[in-house]
Chain A
Amino acid sequence: MAEGIIPGLVKGLATTAKSLTRHTHTAEYPDVSPALPPRSRGVIALTEENCTSCMLCARECPDWCIYIDSHKEELPPTTPGGRARQRNVLDRFAIDFSLCMYCGICIEVCPFDALHWSPEFEYAETDIRDLLHEKDRLGAWMATVPAPPALDPGSADPAEVTAAAKPARGSAGAAAAAAGTRGAGAAARPTRVRRETTTPPPLAAPEPAAQPAAEQTRVMPAVERTAALPAAEPTESLSAAEQTSVLPPADGAEAERAADQAAAQGDSTQVLPTVSTDEEGSE
């Protein structure tokens, strides 16, 4: 035995004896659920109300595992002499998780934030065909979507928030100013104002998922676009109200966030008429 063998053997014994006294690293998974990092890619959840059946996700999906069926619905004109509108109605939204490779491209590409990552991962099936999940199951997973992580302290506000905080189009003088300048917006104004008063209750309502203002403001464009599709006023306000109720509410603890949110909402209500007028002008 050359020199160094005995110290080596003793070192081996010491190492194993040391780890005998230490805590083990075993994850006792079924008994103890794992602490997943934020943005874990467990399953893809769907906010059905945000989906416009635009098919972007289905087309971008690398292995074509998203199935979307939709049909167009004619909405009658709401004003005498108005024009009937069409909107997409989502009939089927299914993701085949036996094909999905969890790349997240569909979530990235969705313009309306209808798709979200959920950390939920316990949906194994004994038959591979049972992994094709329809929109009700995908929608149920929305409850497990975590709030996006808070911004770093000292970071700049998101672009949506700064845009919303601009005083120029603030809600103060908007009603009077916009009424004179915009044609269609003038009719829309009262409903907007009314909706602004109705929005706080759903925000305060206790719902499982809580999302800060950044998420909220990003969802808002979806409100504009979907709301803009049916130009008729009552349905528009109805759908808008739907949208806002669908929005995951902010946690009431953060006063700043709530303030930002209010500002963003105010801004979106201001932007909405302009969009609708643009559309009406172009059509």
Chain B
Amino acid sequence: MSDLAPWLEVVLRAVAVLAAFLVLPLLVGQTEHKVMAHMQGRLGPMYAGGFHGWAQLVADGVKFVQKEDITPARADRWVFRLAPFVALIPYLVALAVIPLSPRVVGADVDASVVLVLAVIGVGVIGTLMAGWASANKYSLLGAMRAAAQLVSYELPMVLAVASVALAAGSLSLVSIAEAWNPWWLLWQLPGAVVFLVAALAELQRPPFDMPLADSEIVFGAFTEYTGLRFAFFLLAEYAGIVVMSLLFAVLYLGGWAGPFEQWLGWVWTVLKGFLVAVVVIWLRVSWPRMREDQLQRLAWVWLVPMALVQLALTAVGVVVFS
């Protein structure tokens, strides 16, 4: 790639990241359609595209484009219209710095772990904006729940990631994945559990979907959204799953570690990430939604102490073995 002109390289990398950003969430979405359906004894979409409904999400996209773009009369217009993009773009940035292999990475940043965590937190601001600008009490309730959830779960997540960074002695995702060895599966297990749970909560995925809770508060912050803007929120959710799954694969599963990693490294990363995404879907299908107070309790009483214990364990391990 270094042979190319700098501007061309930038464009190519941006296009590649954008393509991944548009394709991978759809793959996860389709997987969710099918896996969830079969877990519930159904078939899921079967017609769109001809073969087992593979084009269902494309058809959904076409449908969303055709729908009317409504802004409520009392809404804060600019904030309301901007919110979907604020929710969506952080995941695009995060995807750009997550390495699939040392060479296959949108942008190799030094402290990429910090960047990813910081950027993911911004996504919730989109939800908050949407809820506030909608001038709808359910939207506002959903936004408040989302914000509370973010505040609660950002801490255990950062602690868990800090533990990995400590173990690897680096803040770069590439270096962390390079430093990974299979023992980490055991050593970093509590941290991995904390990270997965916190990631689910940050993505507002079931069983942590109180901010959406359609049986309580209509659809939370997205209640007033229609058409393409609503689709962007959904895309943000699935892009979030992609980002979190890849991040989990890189941090805890060794990323591209595997046979023929010289050539197939990125395949291993994607496969591991896909496996994590399937687990995320599996958890959604299996477990009921938690109550708001249970959610807070889980974060502060269980996850934060667990993450701290992991941090101590990692520190001890680093000191003893190095």
Residues of A within 8 A of B (CB): 1, 9, 12-13, 15-17, 19-20, 22, 24-26, 28
Known contacts A1-B302, A12-B287: A19-B41 contact under CB 8 Å: yes
Q: How far apart sit A26 and B46, CA to CA, in the bound complex (Å)?
A: 11
Known contacts A1-B302, A9-B287: A16-B282 contact under CB 8 Å: yes
> Which residues from chain B contact A16 at a C-beta distance below 8 Å?
39-40, 282, 285-286
CB distance from B24 to the nearest CB of A (A): 22
26 pairs across A/B with beta carbons < 8 Å?
A1-B298, A9-B286, A9-B287, A12-B286, A12-B287, A13-B282, A15-B286, A16-B40, A16-B282, A16-B285, A17-B39, A17-B282, A19-B38, A19-B40, A20-B35, A20-B38, A20-B39, A24-B37, A24-B38, A24-B41, A24-B42, A24-B43, A25-B41, A26-B42, A26-B43, A28-B43
Chain A residue, CB-CB nearest to B297:
A1
Residues of B within 8 A of A (CB): 35, 37-43, 46, 282-283, 285-287, 298, 302
Chain A residue, CB-CB nearest to B298:
A1
Q: How far apart sit A17 and B285, CA to CA, in the bound complex (Å)?
A: 10
Q: How far apart sit A12 and B287, CA to CA, in the bound complex (Å)?
A: 7
CB distance from A13 to the nearest CB of B (A): 5
Q: How far apart sit A1 and B197, CA to CA, in the bound complex (Å)?
A: 15
Q: What does DSSP make chain A's interface, helix, strand, loop or mixed?
A: helix
B286 touches A13 (CB 8 A): yes
> Which residues from chain A contact B287 at a C-beta distance below 8 Å?
9, 12
CB distance from B277 to the nearest CB of A (A): 15
A19 touches B39 (CB 8 A): yes
Q: How far apart sit A24 and B285, CA to CA, in the bound complex (Å)?
A: 16
CB distance from A169 to the nearest CB of B (A): 61
CB distance from A27 to the nearest CB of B (A): 10
Q: How far apart sit A12 and B39, CA to CA, in the bound complex (Å)?
A: 11
Q: How far apart sit A22 and B39, CA to CA, in the bound complex (Å)?
A: 9
CB distance from A116 to the nearest CB of B (A): 35
